[in-house]
Amino acid sequence: MSGADTDKGRPLWAPWRIEYIERARGPQACIFCDRDDGRSDRERLILHRGQHAFVLLNRYPYAPGHLMVAPYAHAGKLDALDAATQGEVMALIVRGARILEATYHCDGLNVGANLGSAAGAGFADHVHFHLVPRWRGDVNFMTSVGEIRVIPSHIERTLDELLPAFAGEAKR
């Protein structure tokens, strides 16, 4: 081992991050807008489609099960959405929370939206909400000291765990 290896520990490789880093460099198509790009809902990580809004997994999650709820309408402000869309978005947030709690037995959830780029929205022109399952003690030294997220489940596994719940759960 080199001196650098002993001084700083072993490297933690996250090769999937390069896709995110490279994508963030140039102009991007809105990930929430439907387009005929030949990809299936599964490839796009879409769990459920409603009449005005849909649910998908975050490709770069903070925790397993990190969902997003977005309207089909490309709008950057909440008040740009009609009442029917606002209602369905809220209903899908409630449904997503119920499914995450039942599937992952999480101790809590973070639910929120970053409205505008100054608030941290990666796609500021398309309103969307995040649902992030949380467990007591889930913020370990990797996150708090190393500024690294450790996701203990592959996103394909998460998709396979949540798809049946969205497909089979009775709409309430």
Residues 128, 72 contacting (CB under 8 angstroms): no
128 is catalytic: yes
Catalytic residue among 48, 52, 128, 130: 128
Q: What is the dihedral of CA 30, 32, 34, 39, to 10 degrees?
A: 90
Residues 104, 64 contacting (CB under 8 angstroms): yes
Catalytic residue numbers?
128
